[in-house]
Each structure stands twice: as structure tokens, then as C-alpha cells.
């Protein structure tokens, strides 16, 4: 059955199910093509007839990856999807920013009907420009490095104008996201243009304060003292890359005009180089690495956390699945390259023979040294200024979101919790206990969206995080309780090395 809803740009026809309504492929901004490539999002042209909203819009341009098997060459991709219960009332709104490494992913693959129906919330899952299309910076290009963030701001403004038509409350909007989406949520906490567009934030495995040693992400990945780069650095990188590729020629117009004529098929091959927003421009004037610990962020309640075994996903995909599992000698070299004079101390705390394989040993090192410290540092920074709740997804039997190599236990790997929140195509093969955990996670998240507090009847109590009482809620099918996160991840050891 179909339902028609009136928006400020025209009418849309979506799908009606027994308990929820689904509208897909709604344009929230003009297609960023031609002269609008690398421009701030522009208003969408109104449509006079009823527009079909029963199918997703185009994903933003991307090449398929093992972790995100989506391909697209179409820049006309600024669409969003709305899942809403059929019940009446003014409901909390939850806007989901997807992960995917910064150059991959789309909103439509996250089926939010379980969350919407069980928790009586309206869920919006948008696309925004990715990679070179969303984060490109170049001398003379206005707004460089922040087009994807601006797209998401346009989504939030669309919500303010239109979400009431779906039963949502524009005065109660929660911005939540995982991985790259979580990184973007952190950017919105700092971005001046995002002020007042959302009222609560959930950061899932967002790595705004991540400090990663060499080799943390993949073989040969460099040391990254911070995840954020400045617009000056990105402009220099872009100039070098454009020069190598010969995309700008004398006498053929301005550099920006020439770059806007480069076919998508060529741009997309280097899209992953520009896989995160940059600071130093109008969109994100200050690095979140400095702004968040400095207390310079929007004062909204925040729920933040990660997974117990974040780094196993990357080690499995980029070492073992790539045919180059880490050997004992390789482990020693990674420690030497990553930790210099402290390598022997790290080896003593993380002995290779205490793990089933050297790859798992390295995943444990990186999971603690980079990911767990990032969660802790973010929680500490936020809790000094605003109400903060912190969690760890701890189900080490969670179904893997991508195929893992034989013999490599996925554990509670990076992004494992997402299949508990959403259906990603087919529902995940969860046990009854895991389904109960999934329902509990969605209830916590929706309670937080309603009031800024995840607690509710029939739920294990969840305390706020503070420096004096750093409570971290462990989310596990058998038990939901506080955990000694700092001891679990040896944070005293890592902070002493810093």
C-alpha cells in the first residue's frame, strides 16, 4: 500500500507496511553535478507531480570494497530515506550517518524498521558525498574539505522543515553514526554550522581522537598522531596528485573549471585518498582533536563507545584475507616500526605466544593502543562539559559483518553492533539471547534520543561517565553491567608510554 506525504519541495509516495512507513530516495538538495561539483549543497528544485519514493536513490560515487560491496558512478546522489511508525504523535527523530571508510557506503542499506517500530521513533538514513567528491580541497576551491559535512547539515535542515510530515519532532533530533559516520558526528559537535541542528549525539566507534602507530590500519600504513589533517595539508596533497595525473593544463580554463570536467570514472580511482573531512576552513575551522578536549563543542548530551575487539576487522581483512598473515618475525617488526624504543615493553605486555596467532596479537595491541584509548579520551573530554554515557559492545560471538578468513575469530569486531541495530539486507543470524541484546541496545539508544538518558524500566541501570567515576556499560548477551574498561585495555600502560 502507498502513502503520500507533502514536503516543502513537493509530494512523495512511499510504502506502508503493517506497522511502519518507508519513504526512500527523497532528494534533499540539488544534484551536485557539473558546476555544482565541489559546491555547498543547493536547494532542490520543487517537483509538481507526486514523486515516487518507493525505491532508494543512487549511492554516491564509489568503488566496491570487501566491507562495502556497493558501486556507483552517479554524482546525483543526495537522497535520504525515512522510516516511521504508523502510530500518531510527535516522535523523536534519529538521523543515522553510515560508515564505510569515508569513500564507501549509503544510507538505504540500513533497514531501520525494527528500531522505528519497537521504539516509536522516526529514523532518517541519508547519503552524503564521499571521498574525493565530499572531502576534496584545492587552492582556490571555496569550502574545500567539507562538502560531505555540509551535505549532512543540509539533511538536518531538511529534517527541521519536513520531519513533522512523518510524525517526527524537529525539536528532538539525535545525530548518530558509526565508524566514519561516528567521526562525522564528532565533527558536527565542533562545526559552527551544525549548532542547533541536533539535540543529542551518539558516537559509535568514531575515532575523532585516534592516535595510531605505523601499521595500525593495513600493511605500510603510516603513523598517525591525529586522524585530522588541515586544509593546507590536503590542498598540498591534492596539488601534488593533480599534477601527477595531468588533470590541469595551461590555457584550458581555471584549475577548478578543468577539475570539474574530469570524468567520475577517473576521479573515483583516487577517491579514497580524500577519506575524511579536514579542518582549517569555514566548515570546520578548528581540529576536533583540539576542540573536543578544549571543551569547544556544542553542549548536547552524548552517548559514545566502541566494540571490544575493534582492530580484528582490519587485521583480518588487510593482512590475513589479503594473503599476508602476520608471522612472529612480522609481529616483532610491526612492534619496532610502531613503537620504536618501547617495542620491547609492548612485546612483554602482549607476548605473541599468549595469542592463537601473531595476527590476533597485533589486533589486540592496536585495539588497545589506538581504539580503546580513543574511546577513553573522547569520553573524558566530553564528560568534563556535558552529560556523557559510555558503552562497550562486548559480544565476541557476534556474526561477522564481512567474511573473516578461516581460523580468525572475529570477536566483537569493528561495526559488529550495527547488525544488532539494523537489518542489513537479510536479518543477521542472531541467537535468542543476541536478539534480546539487539532489542536492549535499540531501547537504550531510543531512550537516549527521547530524553538524553538511556535508562528506562526493565533495563540494567547505566551510570554517566565522569573522571571520578568512569563507568563504561558492557553490552553482552549474558550480562549488561559496568566493566573496568581501563584495566581491560591496559590504558595505564599505554598512557605511561605516551
| Domains within the chain, CATH numbers bracketed | 2-306+386-394+416-476 (3.40.50.1820)
DSSP 212: B
Helix (H) or strand (E) holding 80: strand 79-85
Cross-strand pairs, 10: 7
Question: 186 CB contacts (<8 Å, ≥6 apart)?
Answer: 203, 206, 208, 288, 292, 378
pLDDT of res. 331: 98
pLDDT of res. 2: 84
Distance CA 364, CA 354 (A): 11
- 152, 139 in Cβ contact below 8 A? no
Helix (H) or strand (E) holding 374: helix 373-383
Ranges of residues in the chain whose predicted pLDDT is under 70: 1
pLDDT of res. 416: 98
Q: How many CB atoms lie within 10 A of CB 52?
A: 12
pLDDT of res. 69: 82
**434-437: which pairs have CB atoms within 8 A and are 24 or more residues apart?**
434/395, 434/397, 434/398, 434/477, 436/477, 437/395, 437/475, 437/476, 437/477, 437/480
How far from chain centre, in Å, is Cα 347?
Answer: 32
204-213 pLDDT per residue, tens: 999 999 999 9
pLDDT of res. 477: 98
- State the residue for C-alpha cell 605486555: 349
pLDDT of res. 165: 97
> Active-site residues: which are they?
179
In the chain, the N- to C-terminal Cα span, in Å, equals: 59
Amino acid at each position: 500500500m502507498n502513502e503520500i506525504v507533502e514536503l516543502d519541495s513537493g509530494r512523495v509516495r512511499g510504502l506502508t507496511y503493517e506497522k511502519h512507513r518507508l519513504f526512500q530516495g527523497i532528494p534533499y538538495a540539488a544534484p551536485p553535478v557539473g558546476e555544482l561539483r565541489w559546491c555547498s549543497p543547493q536547494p532542490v528544485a520543487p517537483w509538481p507531480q507526486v514523486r515516487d519514493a518507493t525505491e532508494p536513490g543512487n549511492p554516491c560515487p564509489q568503488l566496491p570494497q570487501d566491507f562495502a560491496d556497493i558501486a556507483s558512478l552517479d554524482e546525483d546522489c543526495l537522497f535520504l530515506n525515512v522510516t516511521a511508525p504508523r502510530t500518531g504523535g510527535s516522535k523523536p527523530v534519529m538521523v543515522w550517518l553510515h560508515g564505510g571508510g569515508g569513500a564507501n557506503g549509503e544510507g538505504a542499506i540500513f533497514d531501520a524498521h525494527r528500531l522505528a517500530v519497537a521504539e516509536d521513533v522516526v529514523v532518517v538514513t541519508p547519503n552524503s558525498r564521499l571521498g574525493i567528491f565530499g572531502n576534496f580541497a584545492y587552492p582556490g576551491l571555496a569550502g574545500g574539505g567539507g562538502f560531505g559535512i555540509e551535505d549532512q547539515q543540509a539533511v538536518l535542515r531538511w529534517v527541521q522543515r519536513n520531519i513533522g510530515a512523518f510524525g517526527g519532532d524537529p525539536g528532538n533530533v539525535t545525530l548518530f553514526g558509526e565508524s566514519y559516520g561516528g567521526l562525522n558526528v564528532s565533527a558536527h559537535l565542533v562545526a559552527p554550522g551544525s549548532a542547533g541542528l541536533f539535540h543529542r549525539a551518539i558516537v559509535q566507534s568514531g575515532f575523532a581522537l585516534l592516535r595510531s602507530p605505523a601499521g595500525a590500519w593495513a600493511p605500510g600504513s603510516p603513523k598517525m598522531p591525529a586522524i585530522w589533517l588541515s586544509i593546507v595539508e590536503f590542498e598540498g596533497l591534492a596539488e601534488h596528485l593533480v599534477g601527477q595525473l595531468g588533470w590541469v593544463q595551461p590555457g584550458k580554463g581555471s584549475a577548478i573549471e578543468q577539475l570539474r570536467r574530469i570524468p567520475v570514472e577517473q576521479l573515483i580511482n583516487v577517491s579514497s585518498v580524500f577519506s575524511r573531512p579536514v579542518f582549517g576552513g569555514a566548515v570546520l575551522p578548528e581540529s576536533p582533536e583540539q576542540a573536543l578536549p578544549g571543551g569547544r563543542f556544542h553542549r548536547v548530551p552524548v552517548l559514545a563507545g566502541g566494540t571490544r575487539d575493534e582492530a580484528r576487522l582490519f587485521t583480518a581483512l588487510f593482512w590475513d584475507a589479503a594473503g599476508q598473515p602476520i608471522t612472529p618475525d612480522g609481529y616483532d617488526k610491526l612492534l619496532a616500526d610502531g613503537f620504536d624504543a618501547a617495542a620491547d615493553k609492548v612485546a612483554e605486555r602482549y607476548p605473541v605466544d599468549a595469542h592463537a596467532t601473531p595476527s590476533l596479537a597485533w589486533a589486540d595491541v592496536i585495539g588497545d593502543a589506538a581504539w580503546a584509548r580513543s574511546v577513553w579520551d573522547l569520553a573524558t573530554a566530553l564528560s568534563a562539559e556535558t552529560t556523557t554515557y559510555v558503552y562497550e559492545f562486548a559480544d565476541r560471538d557476534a556474526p561477522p559483518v564481512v567474511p573473516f578468513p578461516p581460523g580468525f575469530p572475529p570477536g566483537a569486531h569493528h561495526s559488529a553492533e550495527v547488525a544488532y541495530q539494523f537489518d542489513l539486507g537479510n536479518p543477521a543470524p542472531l541467537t535468542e539471547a543476541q536478539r534480546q541484546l539487539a532489542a536492549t541496545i535499540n531501547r537504550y539508544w531510543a531512550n537516549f534520543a527521547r530524553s538524553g538518558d538511556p535508562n528506562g524500566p526493565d533495563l540494567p541501570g547505566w551510570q554517566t561517565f565522569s573522571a571520578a567515576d568512569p563507568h563504561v556499560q558492557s553490552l553482552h548477551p549474558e550480562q549488561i553491567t559496568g566493566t573496568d574498561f581501563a584495566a581491560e585495555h591496559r590504558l595505564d600502560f599505554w598512557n605511561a608510554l605516551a
